[in-house]
Protein backbone atom coordinates (compact mmCIF):
# COMPACT_ATOMS: atom_id res chain seq x y z
CA UNK A 1 0.00 0.00 0.00
CA UNK A 2 1.20 3.50 -0.80
CA UNK A 3 2.51 5.30 2.26
CA UNK A 4 3.88 8.75 3.02
CA UNK A 5 5.49 9.43 6.39
CA UNK A 6 6.65 12.81 7.62
CA UNK A 7 8.98 13.55 10.49
CA UNK A 8 9.19 15.14 12.91
CA UNK A 9 5.50 15.70 13.73
CA UNK A 10 6.37 19.03 15.31
CA UNK A 11 9.47 21.20 15.29
CA UNK A 12 10.31 24.30 17.26
CA UNK A 13 13.18 26.48 16.01
CA UNK A 14 14.72 29.75 17.03
CA UNK A 15 14.82 32.43 14.36
CA UNK A 16 17.90 31.80 12.21
CA UNK A 17 18.25 28.16 13.29
CA UNK A 18 18.32 26.07 10.10
CA UNK A 19 16.80 22.58 9.97
CA UNK A 20 15.29 19.95 7.69
CA UNK A 21 11.92 18.25 7.45
CA UNK A 22 11.71 14.69 6.17
CA UNK A 23 9.18 12.96 3.94
CA UNK A 24 9.70 9.27 3.24
CA UNK A 25 7.48 7.42 0.81
CA UNK A 26 6.68 3.91 -0.34
CA UNK A 27 4.70 4.06 -3.55
CA UNK A 28 4.58 2.38 -6.90
CA UNK A 29 4.60 4.47 -10.01
CA UNK A 30 5.58 7.84 -8.52
CA UNK A 31 4.64 10.69 -10.86
CA UNK A 32 5.72 13.54 -8.63
CA UNK A 33 6.31 14.65 -5.06
CA UNK A 34 4.73 17.85 -3.83
CA UNK A 35 5.38 20.13 -0.88
CA UNK A 36 2.61 22.34 0.46
CA UNK A 37 2.42 24.84 3.26
CA UNK A 38 -0.77 25.16 5.33
CA UNK A 39 -1.55 28.04 7.67
CA UNK A 40 -4.25 27.72 10.35
CA UNK A 41 -7.74 28.11 8.92
CA UNK A 42 -6.55 27.94 5.33
CA UNK A 43 -6.12 25.36 2.62
CA UNK A 44 -2.68 24.07 1.61
CA UNK A 45 -0.59 26.36 -0.57
CA UNK A 46 1.69 24.87 -3.21
CA UNK A 47 5.45 25.19 -2.72
CA UNK A 48 7.32 22.71 -4.95
CA UNK A 49 7.01 19.72 -7.25
CA UNK A 50 9.89 17.27 -7.68
CA UNK A 51 9.81 14.58 -10.33
CA UNK A 52 13.05 12.61 -10.24
CA UNK A 53 15.77 11.58 -7.81
CA UNK A 54 18.50 14.19 -7.55
CA UNK A 55 16.19 17.08 -8.37
CA UNK A 56 16.33 20.20 -6.19
CA UNK A 57 14.17 23.32 -6.08
CA UNK A 58 14.52 26.51 -4.08
CA UNK A 59 12.26 29.36 -3.05
CA UNK A 60 13.48 32.03 -0.67
CA UNK A 61 14.58 30.22 2.53
CA UNK A 62 13.22 26.84 1.41
CA UNK A 63 14.96 24.14 -0.58
CA UNK A 64 13.42 20.80 -1.50
CA UNK A 65 15.39 17.73 -2.53
CA UNK A 66 14.35 14.27 -3.68
CA UNK A 67 15.89 10.80 -3.52
CA UNK A 68 14.37 7.48 -4.53
CA UNK A 69 12.91 6.96 -1.06
CA UNK A 70 12.55 10.36 0.56
CA UNK A 71 12.41 14.09 0.21
CA UNK A 72 13.77 16.81 2.44
CA UNK A 73 12.58 20.34 2.93
CA UNK A 74 15.52 22.40 4.14
CA UNK A 75 14.75 25.66 5.89
CA UNK A 76 17.67 28.07 6.05
CA UNK A 77 17.68 30.88 8.64
CA UNK A 78 13.93 30.63 9.27
CA UNK A 79 11.78 33.59 10.33
CA UNK A 80 8.61 33.59 12.45
CA UNK A 81 6.52 33.95 9.30
CA UNK A 82 7.74 30.51 8.20
CA UNK A 83 5.66 29.01 11.03
CA UNK A 84 3.09 26.71 9.45
CA UNK A 85 2.34 23.05 8.83
CA UNK A 86 4.35 21.63 5.94
CA UNK A 87 2.75 18.80 4.02
CA UNK A 88 4.28 16.48 1.52
CA UNK A 89 2.23 14.51 -0.98
CA UNK A 90 2.90 12.02 -3.72
CA UNK A 91 1.10 11.77 -7.01
CA UNK A 92 0.79 8.19 -8.18
CA UNK A 93 -0.42 6.51 -11.32
CA UNK A 94 -4.16 5.89 -11.04
CA UNK A 95 -5.19 5.77 -14.65
CA UNK A 96 -4.52 9.40 -15.40
CA UNK A 97 -6.45 11.02 -12.62
CA UNK A 98 -5.26 13.60 -10.16
CA UNK A 99 -4.89 11.91 -6.79
CA UNK A 100 -2.45 12.96 -4.12
CA UNK A 101 -1.57 10.88 -1.07
CA UNK A 102 -0.54 13.19 1.77
CA UNK A 103 1.62 12.74 4.81
CA UNK A 104 0.26 13.99 8.13
CA UNK A 105 2.56 17.00 8.09
CA UNK A 106 5.23 18.68 10.19
CA UNK A 107 4.04 21.55 12.36
CA UNK A 108 6.82 24.15 12.40
CA UNK A 109 7.04 26.94 14.97
CA UNK A 110 9.76 29.56 14.59
CA UNK A 111 10.32 31.75 17.62
CA UNK A 112 12.13 35.07 18.03
Partner 1 sequence: KAGVTQTPRYLIKTRGQQVTLSCSPISGHRSVSWYQQTPGQGLQFLFEYFSETQRNKGNFPGRFSGRQFSNSRSEMNVSTLELGDSALYLCASSSRGGDEKLFFGSGTQLSVL
The contact set with partner 1 (CB under 8 A) reads 31-32, 34, 36, 41-46, 49, 51, 87, 89, 91, 94-105
Smallest distance, partner 1 to C-beta of residue 6, A: 9
Smallest distance, partner 1 to C-beta of residue 111, A: 23
Nearer residue to partner 1 within complex by CB, 13 or 30: 30
Nearer residue to partner 1 within complex by CB, 62 or 87: 87
What is the bridge-based pairing of β-strands 10-14 and 3-7? unpaired
Q: Are the CB atoms for 30 and 92 separated by under 8 Å?
A: yes
Smallest distance, partner 1 to C-beta of residue 77, A: 26
Smallest distance, partner 1 to C-beta of residue 63, A: 18
Nearer residue to partner 1 within complex by CB, 28 or 98: 98
Q: Name 48's bridge partners.
A: 35
Nearer residue to partner 1 within complex by CB, 20 or 51: 51
Task: Give the CB-side neighbour count of residue 29, counting CA atoms within 13 A.
Answer: 9
As a dihedral over the C-alpha atoms of residue 102, residue 69, residue 56, residue 51, rounded to 10 degrees, the angle is -70
Round to whole Å and give the CA distance between 15 and 76. Answer: 10
Amino acid sequence: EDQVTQSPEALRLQEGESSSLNCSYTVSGLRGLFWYRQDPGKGPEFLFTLYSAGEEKEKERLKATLTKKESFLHITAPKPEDSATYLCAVHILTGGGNKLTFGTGTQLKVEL
